[in-house]
Amino acid sequence: MTGEAELRSGWRGRGVAALLAVMVGAAVFCGCKSDVTVRKLDRDERNVSSEWGGAERDRLLSSTSNYLAGQLLTGKFNSAPDEVITAIDRTYRESPQKERRLLAVLTDLCFARGCELEDSPERAIGYFTASAYYSYQYMFGTFAFHDRPDQYNPTFFLMTRYYRLSLLRIFDFLNDRRLLDADSYRLPAAAGREFLALPPENQLSQPLADYSEIRPCDDFEVSNLLTTAHSFGVGLPLVARTELKTLVEGGELLFKTPVTPATMQLDFTGDAKFRLRFFPAMKVSRIAVDGGSEVPLEIDISTPIAVSVSGDSLWRNIHYMLNPDELRSYTGLYQIGDYDPDKIPVILVHGLMSGPQTWIQMGNYLLSDERIRSKYQFLFFYYSTGQPVLYSAMQLRRALYDFRRLKDPENRNPNFERTVVIGHSMGGLLSKTLIENGDYDTSVRLFGDRFQKLFDAGGKERRQLIDEIFLFRAVPFVSRVIFISTPHRGSEMATWSIARWGASLVKMPHRLIDMIQDSLDELLEGAEADGAVENGFHVATGIENLDPANPVLAMLNELKFNGVPYHSIIGNEEAAGIPDGGDGVVPYWSSHLNGAQSEMVVKSDHSAHQTAPAIEEVRRILLEHLDGKSLEKPAE
């Protein structure tokens, strides 16, 4: 993808004034923003920031210090730590009634010793392996302990933290040596122990080697998320990246999962073996460990979500708005995590000059709710907002049908029949076409003889394109739509000269131009605007399609909904709950729909979908949808 510096450089030839026009248009008209940032940490920085929950590098736990003092071992540990660890390990193993507290002491001592040697991974790994082993035995060991583990005891929680932090170091060690998916190798441990690796268990959608990168969530620092989708348990949360090129099918990138939230677990079996286990965090929340106990898996959804859209930016989205052809191979659906046939798809469609990153606050919050996460799977639709709205809507419908053909080819999965679509701003207009049926008479009435001539022009491929753009049918498996800040009747800002100037810079997709040629004439044209002339005719851009006088908007407003329930969330800059005013871009009269099952007006600018009240309203609607509830629909 083009870098931001290259984008700025490429625009210089188009004039500073044009660049400013687009920038102002992006800031004022679009109103889409995302201040979530992701920063990669080096290991030293990460290891310091990840030492939390009592596991600290520079001092032992008070219970450990008390034990050393009581056994007169404090000085000896400072001078001969290995002798002390070996002696305590022997005491633990030889005791008829094993004391669980000794495992806590050994965990703490080994972790502290490993941190001291962290600059020498070959020496440190033995202590981190031992720390993981002792903490695992504390939590799940099936030996004849004289006491049962009390999960309400703070020490139990600390053992889960030591275990996780030890896995972080073990992951680094194995990943650096490409051993994560190796069938057999040995890891040394303190007190003369050694552990043999068994073949790993991988429940992810593809082999570990097929991922372009797998990194701990600890490697990333995420800032400015309103909430955190994280649950405590056992294991090490990971970010598994997939190169898009590995998912190319038939020359098109139809369905993509660039980042998968995962968790690595390490189970010790017997007294000298271990097995790595990898789980998809969006599917698995509880696992069985050695001894038959079922425990919660530690899950981090927030970091993978943030990483998945970290390459997105306002500059890039503006660039793709102006150059739709450059986004063609990336246009399509992107999923958070792997596909799950047991979950209902939720499709998120962004607005003008925006991209998937605009949904990060909402997606993160919703996935922090265990009920939502267990029943729904979320997908972003990414497209160029410079294209005509009806052309982008066609791409969305194609992506949805491709999605179903790929994942449910026999159309037997009932969860597809409950698909929910959420559209913000222009994305709402695309979403609207999913629950409407295009009509020939309406097209003729709005566009006159031009449509008839185009329709009669012949040519199988051209006729198919006309059918898909204008005579579309409602998508049968979309069962609910949520409109957020959607300009159903347009926005006056689309008529401003600054918006028209930005529209004049948009290059229409070559496929669209080649297909319709000069017979399209001004069929997709909006207001009488300058520019955007290719091959002697004008095709209205997505910006121009937002003009209140645009025939495309008139068409979409004349078409009848197909009975699928829909909801409206509308922004008001002044106050919540007042059905009037506007969000600074779209007025209330443009966003309001009489037939909506529910309507909420939130205090917000045009980025209503990033506000807590709107996100909470989406959560309410999704839970209502999950329960099969339906409010009585008002008359149209």
Instruction: Enter the tokens of residue 22.
Output: 């687009």
**Which pLDDT score is estimated for 252?**
47
Distances (CA, A) of 23 to 147, 201, 356, 479: 66, 50, 19, 37
**Which pLDDT score is estimated for 508?**
44
**Which pLDDT score is estimated for 539?**
52
For 433-565, where are the E strands, in sequence order?
478-484, 533-534, 537-538
What angle separates helix 154-176 from helix 121-140, to the nearest 10 degrees?
140
**Which pLDDT score is estimated for 514?**
47
**Which pLDDT score is estimated for 352?**
86
Q: Are 332 and 382 in contact (CB under 8 A)?
A: yes
For the chain (636 residues), the mean pLDDT of every run of 10, in chain order, is 43 44 47 72 78 56 92 93 95 83 94 93 96 93 60 83 96 96 94 94 92 94 88 94 60 63 93 93 89 85 88 67 72 88 96 87 93 94 88 93 92 95 96 92 72 67 78 94 94 51 45 45 40 41 68 87 96 94 92 95 94 96 86 42
**Which pLDDT score is estimated for 189?**
95
Instruction: Enter the tokens of residue 327.
Output: 């986004």
Domain ranges of the chain: 4-34+309-564+607-626, 44-303
Q: Are 431 and 483 in contact (CB under 8 A)?
A: yes
- Strand bridging mode 533-534 / 537-538: antiparallel
Closest CA to 55 of 152, 164, 162: 162
**Which pLDDT score is estimated for 530?**
35
Count Cβ atoms below 10 Å from residue 634 Cβ, excluding itself.
12
Count Cβ atoms below 10 Å from residue 233 Cβ, excluding itself.
17
- The H or E element that residue 610 is part of is none
Q: Is 347 helix (H, G, I), strand (E, B) or coil?
A: strand
User: How far apart, in whole angstroms, are the C-alpha atoms of residue 64 and residue 198?
Assistant: 32
